[in-house]
Amino acid sequence: MSEIRYDRMHDTDVIIAPERLHRPDINKAESTEEICPFCEGNETMTPKEIFALRESDTLSNHKGWQTRVVANLYKAVAIEAPHQHHNGRFEYWDGFGAHEVIIDTPLHRLSMVEWNHHEMVSWLKTLRQRVDDLRRDHRIAFMALFKNEGYDAGSMQSHSHTQLIGLPLVPKLQRDLYRRTREHLHTYHSSLIESIIRDEEDAEIRMVDKCGEFSAFCPFASSYPFEVMIGSKNCIGQIDTVSDGDIDALASLLSSVLQRLAQQLNKFAFNLWVSTPPLGEEAKECNAHRLIIRIMPRLYRFGGFEVNTEMMINPVEPELAAKLLRGDDNG
Ligand SMILES: [Zn+2]
């Protein structure tokens, strides 16, 4: 069983998860032409489905789905583990948490860039359902919702999929963000994230595209080359409460951004992060938070500097990245 251990030197937490060691390797899987457990027709190869968007006349764990959600076979944390915190000099949590895999599409798509509008909409609706369902479990203090695409982004399975990890604690970076959001709200009576999006819209130079309520831009202090953030300055809810109309616009904008990135970077590995609603105490100030999607292309590996300082070195100016992504006179 895994454990979440507190690192008192760096005020962070670490998941020690021996089960992760047995994950199949994407490179090996591709070379031996193994049957893909995520393709339609191979439902028996995965753990039983927790949720699926499927035709009404089809049976669970059979064909006829648009998205399927199953427990991760190689869990970092487990929902059946005790929800127990151990204090002392060696402080830890038993490996309690939720670790789900969302199979994004029944087709053997290797990249999100290939998805059509319907696939993008089904995916967003599935994220909405899973976050809404898991937030009712009051043992979960934070949900991480993310995609790793490509080997350089940490993906071990080539068929398009998303992961959701629910933890009994809030990770440090997120804790810091909540604190700053709260301070900004109390000082300026407005939302920090809203100000950031508003300022980027006003500055224009880093804007990439817009659709409906949403804007896509390369953030002023992008950590990654060609990093793109998508968000709305208006209070349209979080991923678990976003409306069908806003999902439609968000799907269109996300597709546009991915196409633009593929045009500049060809086949590229990336991490994608979807913000989740603050839970517990933080949920009271939910209006200060905004639904954000962050796309982080992984063109370079990290070194000792980045790991020890949490300070990234980005060789591409966000202003140039945005210009190229907009398609202005070939950069
Ligand atoms: Zn497949």
Backbone angles phi, psi at 275, to 5 degrees: -70, 150
Distance 253 CA to ligand 1 centre (A): 25
* Residue from 103, 107, 145, 101 nearest 123 by CA: 103
Structure tokens at 188: 């300026």
Distance 114 CA to ligand 1 centre (A): 14
Distance 158 CA to ligand 1 centre (A): 7
On the question of pLDDT at 22 being above 80, the answer is no
Distance 248 CA to ligand 1 centre (A): 25
Q: pLDDT digit string (tens) for 290-302?
A: 999 999 999 999 8
Distance 103 CA to ligand 1 centre (A): 9
Distance 32 CA to ligand 1 centre (A): 14
pTM, entire model: 0.94
CB atoms under 10 Å from CB of 95, counted, come to 24
> What pLDDT is stored for residue 26 in this prediction?
60
Same domain, 35 and 155: yes
Q: What percent of the chain stands above pLDDT 90?
A: 86
Helix (H, G, I), strand (E, B) or coil at 275: coil
> What pLDDT is stored for residue 328 in this prediction?
85
Same domain, 87 and 119: yes
Same domain, 165 and 195: no
Query: Is 153 within a domain?
Result: yes
Same domain, 163 and 294: no
Q: pLDDT digit string (tens) for 187-234?
A: 999 999 999 999 999 999 999 999 999 999 999 999 999 999 999 999
Distance 220 CA to ligand 1 centre (A): 37
Instruction: Assign 303 a pLDDT band (cuts: 50, 70, 90).
Output: very high
Same domain, 149 and 139: yes
Same domain, 156 and 177: no
On the question of pLDDT at 69 being above 50, the answer is yes
Distance 222 CA to ligand 1 centre (A): 33
On the question of pLDDT at 34 being above 60, the answer is yes
Distance CA 193, CA 214 (A): 13
Distance 110 CA to ligand 1 centre (A): 8
Structure tokens at 50: 């927790």
Distance 157 CA to ligand 1 centre (A): 9
Q: pLDDT digit string (tens) for 250-288?
A: 999 999 999 999 999 999 999 999 999 999 888 877 788
Same domain, 55 and 155: yes
Distance 317 CA to ligand 1 centre (A): 36
Same domain, 164 and 178: no
Instruction: Assign 33 a pLDDT band (cuts: 50, 70, 90).
Output: low
Same domain, 16 and 84: yes
On the question of pLDDT at 331 being above 50, the answer is no
Same domain, 190 and 283: yes
Query: Is 235 within a domain?
Result: yes
Query: Is 36 within a domain?
Result: yes
Domain-terminating residue out of 116, 140, 172: 172
Same domain, 295 and 162: no
Distance 37 CA to ligand 1 centre (A): 6
| Whole-number average pLDDT of the chain | 93
Distance 38 CA to ligand 1 centre (A): 5
Residue 261 near residue 325, CB atoms below 8 Å:
yes
> What pLDDT is stored for residue 282 in this prediction?
80
Write the CATH number for 198.
Answer: 3.30.428.10
On the question of pLDDT at 11 being above 60, the answer is yes
Distance 39 CA to ligand 1 centre (A): 4
Distance 65 CA to ligand 1 centre (A): 14
Residue 250 near residue 275, CB atoms below 8 Å:
no
User: Position of tokens 């591709």?
Assistant: 30
Distance CA 78, CA 327 (A): 45
Q: What are 305's strand-pairing partners?
A: none
Q: How many domains does the chain have?
A: 2
Domain-terminating residue out of 155, 172, 189: 172
Domain-terminating residue out of 172, 200, 216: 172
On the question of pLDDT at 29 being above 80, the answer is no
Distance CA 317, CA 273 (A): 21
Query: Is 264 within a domain?
Result: yes
Query: Is 331 within a domain?
Result: no
Query: Is 150 within a domain?
Result: yes
Same domain, 254 and 124: no
Distance 36 CA to ligand 1 centre (A): 5
Distance 160 CA to ligand 1 centre (A): 8
Distance 26 CA to ligand 1 centre (A): 12
Instruction: Assign 329 a pLDDT band (cuts: 50, 70, 90).
Output: low
Print the domain residue range for 113: 3-172
